[in-house]
Structure 1
């Protein structure tokens, strides 16, 4: 028996960090798997005994990646003395993940600091209630703080840090580089301030940068270095500190160095920190844009709703709505939660749900979804689902889960980043040694070593995959394509074959009676009236088609007695004293009814993708009916688009071979497998080339959806089909398959571009930073330029991924 815990780990900053977090968790006994997401700073752990959430949090803390903390406030009833409050406090403190608990007897409140993902405020309240003191979560501020809020706070913090660092760095840069570029400025500084004062001012300002805005690199990087697990913060910290400490020695104790080596590099240390903070700020802003799809979905939730009470309407917070409440929906208002229309009729814009801009008509009995936009009519609805049970909440959860997934291609990146930082440090040390060995002097050797450390930070590598997943799945949500599992992006992009179910997927799933051919001596009205009467209580789709045709003709149906279904054949009933048999050819054959007079017409109808249904009265052939399930208007274009994309298309159906082949001919599908049961669809898939995708809609499609490399469920599908699928097409339109294929391929192409840039950037610039071009008259790479290039690489990767917002 395994469980899953999700933690927020803000200290992850690069691919090396994510690898260490995963390894620290997987090393614990009982942990099955650990998946990190650098974009969202989250880690999801599947574990069993003896591992516990508290042990997982401790392991992360020991590895230098503590989980984010939160505070919950509980309202506690029944406390009457200090012993009561003490007992509540001890119960809370003993719970896994609780860091500290404070109980106030006078106010009847408890304040609990806990680790996000280990325990929830509702669980804290339940534990207190179980001890005999009824409790409820008064406010759970940091319980799953919305990602958009966390991202916005991080962006604001990085902006402040960058602006502060820039203000402190500007004078240092002007005094150092300006003096080199403008001789008059150099002479003025020496003549007025003097070199020692100049160096002292640079020393003070650079120290303020390093130990102020730049302390994040020291706080995270130095402990990682001491643990023997260096990551990108360690590289930045070492590079900046090396330049700062060397320059500080020149400033404060110049006698320790030969006169030729008394050169300061304060501007390098300050600019390194400032540029990397700039890169992180821009990167954070871009990540905010990347997660905009989720933010927009969350923003669709109204804060209040007008609930109808016996005395009139009352404005209530949406969180207080309950199933069964009647809600008044004003024109132009967003629907608060899921429900059913009880009064009024009008049009509702469901584009947030399906991606389709055309409003949908709603009449009494129609379902409405929270977050959709009401048109010009006033409606009344009855609430059917609230909170996490609403469609919008489930969509948000699906998209967030997909955005947190790790694609198979990420495994390569993880393996590289695991060894990348130690290799870079070794190259930095080798660069220092080689420059000294060739007699370049201590200072140039140090500058080259620092440049290598700075240029090689693996930020871009770690961001290359998750940022593309984040934007791609978010764009899919806007288009009505819900990737329930992030790795479906990669598997769908690789698909060679797309197999479709027929009924309800390529067709509308609502059969219509198209033909009625009567035997000699039987009128159409009589045949239809008796057939409809016999089918009146049947729930079969074909029965609905016969009843709909009878209703359209205004026929009055007599009562039927003894109606009985014949599984796989049809049904029998007695109507107006006559024995009625409706079914397929086998049903009539078993009853001894001769179908030869209309056999030719039946064969013709079957060839036209229509299903023949026979009617016998008192043991004699009475009529032949034909029912057809119309092909969806967009099905043919969907097949054409898939074939144009180089994908083979197949049709797998439980319908008769003749009907299935007729539909396939209409749509241009050459590969057809028909007349198969649900388990037969799985066998049919096994015979097709891999990798393949299967598109279905019904309960009977669930096994095939699960067996395919990628399962796509039409949005009108049953819940069982949707649960078995990897991708949900909310529009209920097969054209969404081609759209999903294009999006998945665009996302994978974007990931490959990002990975190429990240790897090529490091491969090309590390030798330059080491001074490989200097012997040939080429340039070296100063620490400042290295910091700028490193920051630019991360911003480039995120910006490139943002192009996916126009995909599909």
Structure 2
């Protein structure tokens, strides 16, 4: 059995590794993988040998928790609730830790002693014992499990500094009798905790809520459906059934405005169905007997009855939900460089501190015990992970802020690290390259006389009558005509009579004693024969939908409607190519539409008629060829491809699900933001590398000096206070270096 469970209290990648290791050690567990990015544990286990409760107890034994009660949808809701609770608690601890630490720092820098030493102790106790308590609990458990992490180093360094200060507070004479200054390091221990808490808070804020995408997908499924049954006397009976109770071959009635519950084939009725949530196409599809319908789509006009073909986990929507959930759970954890290094750095620093103490005693004898202790403490203090802990989050914070100023919302920090390696961008067409809404592109009058009457009415009167007809129509393309005429200042006629809709053809009405009509090629053939069909063919090659309009037996106007290419799309594709990035386009539309859009934008690779699963397969195929792929989409139909891409990018005017799955969102839905995102990503990653270099540089230089390397030659010893100052300076330098990104402005390459 393979199940996914939310894990709580994870604070770093090493925490996820520790939980994963513990789960894999349990009897009956075939494999376990813990994703730090989504806080989800995917476990394949034998139910006859273990159960979720036993696995949860194993996780709890090392200081974490796992939510196992309820169905998966409820588990995600519970995880979100726990995450919000954790964020509020972390925010409170961070605020109070900084408040107390600043007060201690003021007292320390004012060189106030005596009773002020006890005041510092009183202020430090809540920071160490309350606000920073989790560091010591997790740090100890990680050390016991031989998996030290940042918590271990934070706990060790702050504990040593605090215990040293505590001893000095009550026994200052110990140092005075040995000719050494009385120094307290409460501010060092508390400021370390305050800085690390702030970093954790920023990380939690950036990570966001991993479960909302799945819940929004599930929201597309109606809870119940109307099943059509035949009674014994042959009359039809309508019964409301829960989604879980629907069976294959059930006849299901869907009224206008209702969502389709499962996949099936229409058996009765005609209607237009909005399938944009599934296939991403803006124009609703006309459905009649024999046509397929999919779960999650919306019936827009007439009532239809369809026979269920796929139910439960086999529907298209359920498959999308499954793929997104598995992709989120299997995606590699966000490996913070500092957490990777910490597992080696911690034992190295502890060993260096112990070695320092031992060497001082061996070389100088027991009378140098105070100097040995101070040097050992200095090593731990100067090797504090503050700079390493700030190296990544400060650069990310400034980078994310700079991106936000450029209308780029980055939800997953992994995107920043991955963006600089991307060599292939895959673009969805509808809503990404195009506007996502049908609009009139051409209005061609078929009469040569530009000002004369047409069958007793002027062109303005004709357009006014058409506006009145299309307002009453339920056809999706009618909205495009109405919007176009509104922008042209055309007001609907009030004296329209005998309005009628003919399914599969169009609309008609009487105006000033004349019969007006508007519809598709079938209606045009009935009214005016083949005379004007050449116009249809030219527009069809451009991938446009055609409406014919006329009076009596005359075709008066031909209107072309299409999903327009955004003005910014062509420029964006050109800029991406200048950056050396290969641009691809995917669409559920037909070949002619895809070819026309590719020609306009300059996209060299495109694929038409693709389904959501095929989009995912296309991205995976590119990855197998060694490419690093960024997927850009705006609809639920793109969520599968987004979830497997190396970098997933959503359009801000798209669906919430696409934005939830994506690591990055272009708020204005302007594709020209993509090149800017690549530039910001590159600068941010360079800053992270610089920050880590300086953090390690301080440690490499500082640790030998703190150990007393200079003492034999110069007689200079590094006081723990100076060590703490050096540590603080390293942190400040990292922050200042990160702030340089704030002055960066992107300029497209000419």
Query: CA 1:673/1:534 → structure 2, altered by over 3 Å: closer, same or farther?
Result: farther
Match of 1:671 among 601, 605, 610: 605
User: Residue 433 of structure 1 corresponds to which residue in structure 2?
Assistant: 358
- 514-523 or 230-239: which moved more? 514-523
Would you say the 8 A contact 1:654–1:677 is kept in 2? yes
- What are the within-5 Å matches in structure 2 for residues 652-667 of structure 1? 652-667=586-601
Q: Deviations over 1:691-715 (max 9, x none)?
A: 2223333454444444533333322
What is the 5 A alignment of 1:217-236? 228=144, 230-236=152-158
Aligned to 1:213: 124
Paired residue for 2:584?
650
Q: Find the counterpart in structure 2 of residue 732 from structure 1.
A: 669
- Deviations 1:51-109 (CA, angstroms, capped at 9, x unpaired): 4999699646xx5x999xxxxxxxxxxxxxxxxxxxxxxxxxxxx9xxxxxxxxxxxxx
**SS of structure 2 residue aligned to 1:231:** helix
In 2, distance between residues paired with 1:463 and 1:722? Answer: 28
CA shift at 1:653, angstroms?
A: 3.1
Task: Give the alignment partner of residue 563 of structure 1, picking from 502, 516, 520.
Answer: 502
TM-score by length of 1: 0.55
Partner residue of 1:634?
Answer: 568
Q: CA deviation at 1:511?
A: 0.9
Matched, 1:487 2:414: yes
Show the 5 A alignment for 1:759-798: 759-772=696-709, 781-798=718-735
After TM superposition, give the deviation of residue 603 of structure 1 in Å.
Answer: 6.2
Q: Describe the shift of the 1:554–1:750 C-alpha distance in structure 2 as closer, same or farther (beyond 3 A).
A: same
Corresponding residue of 1:755: 692
What is the distance in 2 between the residues matched to 1:654 and 1:666?
18
Q: 1:564 to 1:708 in 2, by over 3 A?
A: farther
Mean CA deviation greater in 532-541 or 735-744: 532-541
For the 8 Å contact 2:649–2:665, the answer to whether it is kept is yes
The 2-side partners of 1:118 and 1:538 are apart by 42
Using a 3 Å threshold, how does the CA distance of structure 1 residues 624 and 784 change in structure 2: closer, same or farther? Answer: same
Partner residue of 2:434? 507
Q: Given the superposition, is the C-alpha separation of residues 538 and 156 from structure 1 closer, same or farther in structure 2, using an over 3 Å criterion?
A: same
CA 1:675–1:516 in 2, change beyond 3 Å: closer, same or farther?
A: farther
Size of the aligned set, in residue pairs, is 574
Q: CA deviation at 1:212?
A: 6.1
TM-superposed deviation, 1:546: 3.1
1:303-452 correspondence runs (5 A): 408=333, 410-438=335-363, 442-443=368-369, 444-452=371-379
For the aligned residue pairs, the C-alpha RMSD in angstroms reads 5.7
Q: Counterpart of 1:377?
A: none
- Cα distance in 1 for partners of 2:158, 2:116 equals 18
Deviation at 1:642, TM superposition (A): 3.4
Cα pair distance change 1:671/1:559, threshold 3 Å: farther
**Counterpart check, 1:544 vs 2:476:** no
For the Cα contact (< 8 Å) 1:481–1:728, is it kept in 2? yes
Alpha-carbon distance between aligned partners in 1 of 2:660 and 2:189, rounded to the nearest angstrom? 43
2: CA distance, partners of 1:722 / 1:530: 42
Identify if the C-alpha distance between structure 1 residues 425 and 263 changes in structure 2 by more than 3 Å, giving closer, same or farther. Answer: same
Instruction: Give the superposition deviation at 1:456.
Output: 1.6
Q: Give the distance between the partners of 2:101 and 2:681, measured in 1 at CA.
A: 32
Deviation at 1:555, TM superposition (A): 6.5
Cα deviation code 1:12-61 (max 9, x no counterpart): 8x998898799789989999777779xxxxx957599634999699646x
Partner of 2:391: 464
How big is the shift at 1:667? 3.6
CA distance in 2, matches of 1:52, 1:482: 40
Alpha-carbon offset, residue 717 of structure 1: 1.9
- Residue 503 of structure 2 aligns to a residue whose secondary structure is strand
Question: Equivalent residues in 2 for 1:5-84 (5 A)?
Answer: 6=8, 50-51=52-53, 59=61
Residue in 2 that maps onto 1:263: 178
Contact 1:635 1:734 survives alignment (8 Å) = yes
Contact 2:467 2:491 in 1 (8 A): no
- Counterpart residue number, 2:160: 238
What SS does the aligned partner of 1:161 have? helix
Deviations 1:676-703 (A, max 9, x none): 4555544544454632223333454444
* CA deviations over 1:235-284 (Å, ceiling 9, x no partner): 34336656986999994699xxxxxxx7344535x1x4334545666777
Residues 592 and 619 of structure 1 are in contact (CA less than 8 Å); yes or no, is this contact kept in structure 2?
Answer: yes
Q: Which residue of 2 aligns with 1:692?
A: 629
**1 CA distance for matches of 2:705 and 2:440?**
73
Change in Cα spacing, 1:210 to 1:26, as seen in structure 2 (3 Å) is farther
Deviation string 1:554-591 (CA, Å, 9 cap, x unpaired) is 564554545223xxxxx35666698978447xx69999
Take 2:568 and 2:357, find their aligned partners in 1: how far apart are those partners?
65
Q: Equivalent residue of 1:511, what SS?
A: strand
Tell me if the contact between 1:514 and 1:628 (Cα under 8 Å) persists in the aligned partners.
no
Name the CA shift for 1:487/1:510 in 2 (closer, same or farther; >3 Å). same
1:786 Cα deviation (Å)?
A: 1.9
- Do the aligned partners of residues 633 and 674 (structure 1) sit closer, same or farther apart at CA in structure 2, a change above 3 Å counting? same
Contact 1:476 1:482 (C-alpha < 8 Å) held by counterparts: yes
State the secondary structure of the residue aligned to 2:444: strand
Say which of 651, 675, 690 aligns to 1:714: 651
Aligned 8 A contact 2:590 2:609 in 1: yes
Q: In the TM superposition, what are the counterparts of 1:175-194 in structure 2 within 5 Å?
A: none
CA 1:267–1:236 in structure 2 vs 1: closer, same or farther (change >3 Å)?
farther
Distance 1:148 1:575 in 2: 65
Residues 1:160 and 2:99 are matched in the alignment: no
Q: Is the 8 A contact 2:159 2:189 kept in 1?
A: no
Q: Secondary structure at the match of 2:182?
A: helix
* C-alpha separation in 1, matches of 2:515 and 2:126: 92
Compared CA separation, residues 801 and 34, structure 1 to 2 (3 A):
farther
Distance 1:602 1:247, change over 3 A: closer
Deviation at 1:409, TM superposition (A): 5.4
Structure 2 Cα separation of the partners of residues 727 and 739 of structure 1:
13
Inter-partner Cα distance in structure 2 for 1:118 and 1:573: 48
Change (3 A) 1:560 1:716: same
Shift of residue 480, structure 1, vs aligned partner: 4.6
* d(CA) in 2 for partners of 1:291, 1:711: 20
SS in 1 for 2:124: coil
Contact 2:192/2:386 (<8 A) preserved? no
Q: Report Cα offsets for 1:730-755 as digits up to 9, x if no partner.
A: 33333343444444444433333333
Gaps of 5+ in 2: 44-50, 70-75, 208-330, 746-750
Q: Which secondary structure state, in structure 1, belongs to the residue aligned with residue 52 of structure 2?
A: coil
CA displacement, residues 199-247 of structure 1 (integer Å, 9 cap, x when unaligned): xx8xx98687567637855896988679757533323433665698699
**Per the alignment, in what secondary structure is the counterpart of residue 649 of structure 2?**
strand
* Cα separation, 1, equivalents of 2:527 and 2:390: 72
